[in-house]
Chains A and B, each alone.
Chain A
Amino acid sequence: MTSEPPKKPSTAQSPRLAVNERHWQWRLLKDRLATYCMSLGGISTIFAVVLIFFYLLFVVFPLFLPASIEPLSSYELSDPDESLFLELEEQHKIAMRVTRKGTLDFFTTEEGTLIQAESVPLPEGRRITSFASATPGTGLFALGLDDGSAVVVHHQYRIKYRDRGPGEKPERLTLPVVSYPLGETPIMIDPEAHPITRLAVQTDEESTTLVGGSSTGTISLVNLAQEESFLGGESEISIERATLKAWGHTTEQILIDPQQRLLYLLSENGQIAHYDIRDKTTPALKQTVQGTQPGIRLTAATFLSGGISLVLGGSDGSLSQWFPVRDKHNQYHLSRAREFSPIKGEVTALMPEQNRKGFAVASSEGDISIYHSTANRRLMTHRVSDQPVISGTFGPRADALALLDQNGKLIMLEVENPHPEVSWSALWGKVWYESYEEPDYIWQSSSASNDFEPKLSLTPLTFGTMKAMVYAMLMAIPLALLSAIFTAYFMAPRMRTYVKPVLEIMEALPTVILGFLAGLWLAPFIENKLPGIFAMLVIVPLAVVTASYLWYRLPTKLQRIIPDGWESAVLIPVVALAAWLAMALSQPMEALLFNGNLPLWLTQTMGIAFDQRNSVVVGLAMGFAVIPTIFSIAEDAVFSVPKHLSFGSLALGATRWQTLTRVVLLTASPGIFSALMIGMGRAVGETMIVLMATGNTPVMDMSIFQGMRTLSANIAVEMGEAEVLSTHYRVLFLAGLVLFAFTFVVNTLAELVRQRLRVRYSSL
């Protein structure tokens, strides 16, 4: 094959030497060109095929990249007054700072230039003693004063476009607007008028709850609810008040959940009191738990986005996530859901993202770390200052961080963190999601609600894939292998020439047709004839064995009508009759044994859930699709076992069956193994059958009467609705990559085994 181009023919004596020479040159050129073209074409085609793997990898890879930050700017704030609060606007062009004096400074993040400053109108001589912000993004916060009252302030940004003359794009202006939703007059919180030193506020459309702790340690709750008056027109504000009983610790921080149903009081020694405040007049202490290791100070705590989980940071750098979990008696207990890898130094501030379950942690060492709670993943750590970072905030899109260090320096960072919610443990391990009772494997990639957190565990899908594969193989292995053995070893050559094409055609049947029949014809059929299906498993083999015995007892003369190797043809009517018998018996059996309705009987008496599109249907349909694959390879392996081996065995007096099991099958076993592998690969990747023949619910349940969702069907269902390059999209690519890698490994294994077998045969 690698022959040299033929030597130039001898043309020395030819009169047409020049012409020939030119012609020869031309031919050589063509030959060389062909070589180049073929090599180029061949290599690039093969490259294109290999590209698949690398492209999948290329799309999946960013999922596992850490977050990165880029310093945007850093400067000393012009006003040295202490900052109580810092917040960024949507585009993170403008930041807002609340100062101890009670001003709201709006300034550009780039250089710190003051754009606008608003002073909160405080009553004469009053000082601000505490500050509280509602859920980030609502723009609402409250200032606690030294006379036991508090002012609620709201700020937002209005977008305006200003014309810049003809032909120019209008200029986009972001204008801060400050308002006082509950009036400019402070609301009295502490009945004894002591200064409010700890404060919390939450609000929604109708009601606002303020909880304040005074310098004497009293905790008071005020709820202001707007009520439509019966006559219409002006709405009234009704006020409810309560004072919380002492709980034995000094309250350091107060947190109210966004629904205003739960209240947490946190003390410096790590104690958390969990109150039920659904009834605002009588708050009830439900539970007190220790949130940090004994002896460790609780230095920071915050709600994560959604307001269900608490993240606690300790003086030793430890971080943990807590949320209420329902127990058997329908009672909620605040429970430690997970621990994060600790940071160096003391946790000084926790900054939650506004739309994802991520948060940033600032440390006393001047480090900043970004975490994602559900994925339990630290995405990066970076030293941003040589001073402790004392507070900070995420931009609403989690693409920027504004931090303040102890010297009053503001540090703006750009954050690149597109896929924090994916980690090895989130994809494959049990994850304890908020509002779930225990860690579990869940795939639930989207929902109608906004607060929804995608649950991207590939485990139930992989499990479903394996389940479908197992049931398909349960059906296919016996049928395919026995058929292969008989066709290759016992069958008459003439019958073989008919049987092989039929089974090859079986392989070519589009799976969409098998899936459609499985879903629309087989599934209702099986539901109606379930006892018959199970009876068939017994009746058909029995009938075959009986037929065999009867045939054996038949007079030799009659036996000779049909020669050896045509048993399958004899058995076709027998099998058909037995199957029909099983079906005919199905309903009488059902009526007799199962009150006429086996699925209902299963559900009610046995407590086994029954889906119409269940594993039996998938097993049958996909088994049907896999049989020809296994059959043709296994048949090939058995057929090409050298004939002298079996002749030798037969000559030594072994029966045909003994020869088969002890000689032929042993020799062919690697080939049979590779047939099974390739069949398995096909079952794992099959899409249309599972898509149509199962309910596509991602459950983890081995029950034969339930469906599943496989990796491939999941891709087919969800790929269309996944936003390009989003985490969901990339995770679906990951599912594709998993399928690719699995089938590739399995097939390579099978191919290597097969090649070794070929070598062995040639040596025999």
Chain B
Amino acid sequence: MTMHNWRKSGTPWIWLSAGAVSISLIMVIGLLLLIASRGLVHFWPANVTQLAYQTGPDQTVQLIGELKDRETLPMARLLESGTYVHQPEGELGHRQLLKTGNRDHLGLDFRWIVDGNILQQSRPPELMVIERREWGNFYGYLRSVSEGGVLVAEGDASWSALQKALGRSLELFDEIRKIEKKDIGQVNYALEQLRLKQRKLELNDQLTPDALAKIDDSRAEQEAAYQLLMGRLAVLYREIGRDSVTAELMDGTQVEVPLSTMVRVYQPNAMNLPRKIGHYLSKAWEFVSDEPREANTEGGVFPAIFGTVLMVLIMSLMATPLGVVAAIYLHEYATQGWLTRTIRIAVNNLAGVPSIVYGVFGLGFFVYFLGGNLDALFYPERLPAPTFGTPGMMWASLTLALMTLPVVIVSTEEGLSRIPSSIREGSLALGATKAETLWRTVLPMASPAVMTGMILAIARAAGEVAPLMLVGVVKLAPSLAIDGNAPFLHLERKFMHLGFHIYDVGFQSPNVEAARPLVYATALLLVLVILVLNITAITIRNRLREKHRLLET
């Protein structure tokens, strides 16, 4: 009876629909947690394990590495993959992913190890991890430190000797980087400007011997500066190449690791919690402030953050005023009728047009049509190398501005329509002109709506990748769009973007497994930025609604 009543009342259906809400909530929260957990772990100095591992009936090898992942799978699949399993009994097998690093010596960074084959497992505190600028991490035992080929420390003393030598080599590295990136970059930029100047004069038939001599003088000056820098660089390179360490790999071979390739050296098993936290913070800081290394799979994402932020800023500078003007025109000036209704529907629908279509339009219209003509008009001296006739920051921002215009228009119009007409009428009755009413009364009241629109536009633009792939994003931009060379803002340059970084590193990089933690960390960063933006927008919107509810009563 109760069963029947229960069924008749429709309760199972209500609960099923409640279940749908639960599933959606679990999915959203689970997704966020997944990204957060994977992304945050990336910086933690994980313990390094030494294993005695069986690879055949009587073959045992020593393995050193970080245990990264663990999975259970049917024994059949395990055996199919061709791995040796010591005791292939039971339905299920367990295996762990071991990051052995040392790509230069082993060929591979990762290997799956079967649980049943592990004979012995330990975490010796003196195990050392070296973060390197190439070939990924190094795992092994430190044996000795040499300076210019001369042994300076051996055994227990070598750890502190290494720390000291590493400090020196990092300082040298910073100086080298400064010279290569900044000083030589400046010289190259100046030389390029001189070349363009000469070409321009040539095109205009104004290249007098005088002018040419002047250009040649400045060129000689820059060349001299360049030679000076190169000399300094040679010295620095000699200096940084001086030290090296000898370390023992997991198979017992001794290898030499030059200090010039090292970023960081640590012994995770010997670290206590505060030191691990310190390491974590320093890695996290490196992530947001440094440049990428090793084909984007290590190091930081600063250029991507910079590109994303700058692109979004320029985009909002273009989209917001235009969107607000369009909304004001539609709502305050245009005669309401079928035309405005049609326009409103059209604008609304444009928000639903796939972003890739905007990308296609941006590429065809902005890059090839506008950019190509701009080049021909203003930069003839640079041709055939395109300046604006190629994807770049400017066109990417403009394309996204066009894409987010509908969002701003719709949001602003909504804000305008929420303002009671009594307020406008009051202002007009007091003798204000329409423009004054708009400027002094209506717009300030609508400003939260404008803000919401802008923030929503920013959130959409920050996460959008598909159109950017066509109009300006690259995997590795040689220089940022803002630098010390006049005119300081270089909108024609290509740029890096967090979203594209995720796609590129996750799908186009040669070593996806090694890059994965970094992709998760990048994804987390992007999600955080977008969450903050959206929550701000939602809060502003709610507050705005509250305010107007008060006004209406």
The residues of A with any CB-CB pair to B shorter than 8 Å are 1-3, 5-6, 9, 27-28, 30-31, 33-35, 37-39, 41-43, 45-46, 48-52, 55-56, 59, 478-483, 485-487, 490-491, 499, 501-506, 508-513, 515-517, 519-521, 528, 540-541, 544-545, 547-549, 551-553, 567-572, 574-576, 579, 587-588, 590-592, 595-597, 600, 624, 627, 631, 655-658, 660, 678, 681-682, 684-688, 691-692, 712, 715-716, 719-720, 724, 732-733, 736, 739-740, 743-744, 746-748, 751-752
Distance from A566 Cβ to chain B, minimum over Cβ atoms (Å): 9
Bound together, the chains give a CA A548 to CA B3 distance in angstroms of 11
Bound together, the chains give a CA A265 to CA B478 distance in angstroms of 63
Contact B506–A516 (Cβ < 8 Å): yes
Out of A41, A551, A587, A744, which one reaches B92, CB within 8 Å? A587
Contact sample, A vs B, 21 pairs, CB 8 Å cutoff: A6-B432, A41-B325, A45-B325, A45-B409, A48-B322, A490-B18, A511-B465, A516-B507, A544-B16, A552-B6, A568-B21, A591-B74, A591-B75, A656-B14, A678-B352, A685-B356, A715-B360, A739-B353, A744-B350, A746-B352, A748-B346
Bound together, the chains give a CA A341 to CA B80 distance in angstroms of 59
User: Which residues on the B side are within 8 Å of A481 (C-beta)?
Assistant: 20
User: Which residues on the A side are within 8 Å of B527 (C-beta)?
Assistant: 509-510, 513
Residue of B nearest to A528 (CB): B73
Bound together, the chains give a CA A568 to CA B25 distance in angstroms of 9
Contact A490–B17 (Cβ < 8 Å): yes
A30-B17 contact in complex given A42-B326, A56-B360, A512-B499, C-beta closer than 8 Å: no
Q: B365: CB under 8 A from chain A? A: yes
Bound together, the chains give a CA A571 to CA B25 distance in angstroms of 11
Q: B277: CB under 8 A from chain A? A: no
Bound together, the chains give a CA A748 to CA B31 distance in angstroms of 33
Contact A751–B534 (Cβ < 8 Å): no
Q: B553: CB under 8 A from chain A? A: no
Q: B552: CB under 8 A from chain A? A: no
Q: 17 additional contacts, CB 8 Å, given A27-B433, A597-B76?
A: A3-B434, A6-B431, A41-B329, A45-B325, A55-B361, A512-B500, A512-B503, A520-B506, A548-B12, A596-B77, A597-B74, A685-B353, A685-B357, A688-B465, A692-B506, A744-B350, A748-B345
User: Which residues on the B side are within 8 Å of A55 (C-beta)?
Assistant: 361, 364-365
A510-B22 contact in complex given A6-B428, A504-B534, C-beta closer than 8 Å: no
Q: B462: CB under 8 A from chain A? A: yes
Most buried by B among A517, A540, A590: A517
Contact B523–A513 (Cβ < 8 Å): yes
Residues of chain B in range 319-356 having any CB-CB distance to chain A below 8 Å: 322-323, 325-336, 343, 345-350, 352-356
Q: B530: CB under 8 A from chain A? A: yes
Q: How large is the interface on B (under 10, 10 to 19, 20 to 34, 35 or more residues)?
A: 35 or more
User: Which residues on the B side are within 8 Å of A591 (C-beta)?
Assistant: 74-76, 91-92
Out of B23, B348, B499, which one reaches A575, CB within 8 Å? B23
Contact B353–A740 (Cβ < 8 Å): yes
Distance from B526 Cβ to chain A, minimum over Cβ atoms (Å): 6
A716-B92 contact in complex given A479-B23, A747-B348, C-beta closer than 8 Å: no
A38-B352 contact in complex given A483-B20, A544-B19, A587-B73, C-beta closer than 8 Å: no
Distance from A519 Cβ to chain B, minimum over Cβ atoms (Å): 7
Distance from B535 Cβ to chain A, minimum over Cβ atoms (Å): 8
Out of A28, A37, A41, which one reaches B433, CB within 8 Å? A28
Residue of A nearest to B372 (CB): A724
Bound together, the chains give a CA A548 to CA B205 distance in angstroms of 88
Distance from B363 Cβ to chain A, minimum over Cβ atoms (Å): 7
Distance from B368 Cβ to chain A, minimum over Cβ atoms (Å): 6
A41-B322 contact in complex given A505-B534, A528-B73, A743-B352, C-beta closer than 8 Å: yes
Residue of A nearest to B8 (CB): A655
Distance from A480 Cβ to chain B, minimum over Cβ atoms (Å): 8
User: Which residues on the A side are within 8 Å of B336 (C-beta)?
Assistant: 1-2
A27-B436 contact in complex given A41-B326, A520-B519, A591-B92, C-beta closer than 8 Å: yes
Most buried by B among A28, A46, A541, A571: A46
Contact B349–A736 (Cβ < 8 Å): no
Distance from B530 Cβ to chain A, minimum over Cβ atoms (Å): 6
Residues of chain B in range 1-31 having any CB-CB distance to chain A below 8 Å: 2-3, 6, 8-29, 31
Most buried by A among B336, B409, B506: B506
Bound together, the chains give a CA A541 to CA B23 distance in angstroms of 10
Q: B502: CB under 8 A from chain A? A: yes
Bound together, the chains give a CA A691 to CA B116 distance in angstroms of 39
Distance from B240 Cβ to chain A, minimum over Cβ atoms (Å): 37
Q: B228: CB under 8 A from chain A? A: no
Distance from A192 Cβ to chain B, minimum over Cβ atoms (Å): 63
User: Which residues on the B side are within 8 Å of A692 (C-beta)?
Assistant: 503, 506-507
User: Which residues on the A side are within 8 Å of B19 (C-beta)?
Assistant: 482, 540-541, 544, 568, 571, 574-575
Distance from A546 Cβ to chain B, minimum over Cβ atoms (Å): 10
A656-B20 contact in complex given A42-B325, A56-B361, C-beta closer than 8 Å: no
Residue of B nearest to A33 (CB): B435
Contact B325–A479 (Cβ < 8 Å): no
Bound together, the chains give a CA A655 to CA B10 distance in angstroms of 7
Out of A31, A545, A549, A572, which one reaches B22, CB within 8 Å? A572
Distance from B462 Cβ to chain A, minimum over Cβ atoms (Å): 7
Q: B304: CB under 8 A from chain A? A: no
Out of A33, A541, A740, which one reaches B16, CB within 8 Å? A541
User: Which residues on the B side are within 8 Å of A487 (C-beta)?
Assistant: 21
A505-B466 contact in complex given A516-B502, A571-B19, A597-B77, C-beta closer than 8 Å: no
Contact A510–B357 (Cβ < 8 Å): no
Bound together, the chains give a CA A511 to CA B31 distance in angstroms of 13
Residues of chain B in range 266-323 having any CB-CB distance to chain A below 8 Å: 322-323
Distance from A685 Cβ to chain B, minimum over Cβ atoms (Å): 2
Distance from A216 Cβ to chain B, minimum over Cβ atoms (Å): 63
Q: B463: CB under 8 A from chain A? A: yes
Q: Mark B65-86, 1 if CB is under 8 A from A, else 0.
A: 0000001111111001000000
Out of B13, B35, B353, B500, which one reaches A657, CB within 8 Å? B13
Residue of A nearest to B343 (CB): A46
Q: B414: CB under 8 A from chain A? A: no
Out of B92, B359, B368, B431, which one reaches A588, CB within 8 Å? B92
Out of A56, A512, A552, A572, which one reaches B26, CB within 8 Å? A572
Q: Mark B432-448, 1 if CB is under 8 A from A, else 0.
A: 11111011000000000
Q: B225: CB under 8 A from chain A? A: no
Contact A712–B21 (Cβ < 8 Å): no
A631-B24 contact in complex given A6-B432, A590-B74, C-beta closer than 8 Å: yes
User: Which residues on the A side are within 8 Å of B360 (C-beta)?
Assistant: 56, 715, 719, 732-733, 736
Bound together, the chains give a CA A62 to CA B406 distance in angstroms of 30
Q: B423: CB under 8 A from chain A? A: no
Q: Mark B450-486, 1 if CB is under 8 A from A, else 0.
A: 0000000001101111100110000000000000000
9 interchain residue pairs of minimum CB distance: A42-B329, A657-B10, A685-B354, A596-B76, A510-B463, A596-B74, A482-B20, A548-B15, A34-B435
User: Which residues on the A side are within 8 Å of B3 (C-beta)?
Assistant: 549
Distance from A576 Cβ to chain B, minimum over Cβ atoms (Å): 6
Bound together, the chains give a CA A752 to CA B330 distance in angstroms of 19
Bound together, the chains give a CA A574 to CA B19 distance in angstroms of 9
Bound together, the chains give a CA A515 to CA B526 distance in angstroms of 14
Contact B459–A624 (Cβ < 8 Å): no
Distance from A58 Cβ to chain B, minimum over Cβ atoms (Å): 9
Bound together, the chains give a CA A478 to CA B345 distance in angstroms of 28
Contact B23–A567 (Cβ < 8 Å): no
Q: B34: CB under 8 A from chain A? A: yes
Q: B494: CB under 8 A from chain A? A: no
Contact A658–B434 (Cβ < 8 Å): no
User: Which residues on the B side are within 8 Å of A574 (C-beta)?
Assistant: 19, 22
A627-B364 contact in complex given A43-B329, A591-B91, C-beta closer than 8 Å: no
Contact B75–A596 (Cβ < 8 Å): yes
Q: B162: CB under 8 A from chain A? A: no
Most buried by B among A31, A487, A502, A512: A512
User: Which residues on the A side are within 8 Å of B512 (C-beta)?
Assistant: 520
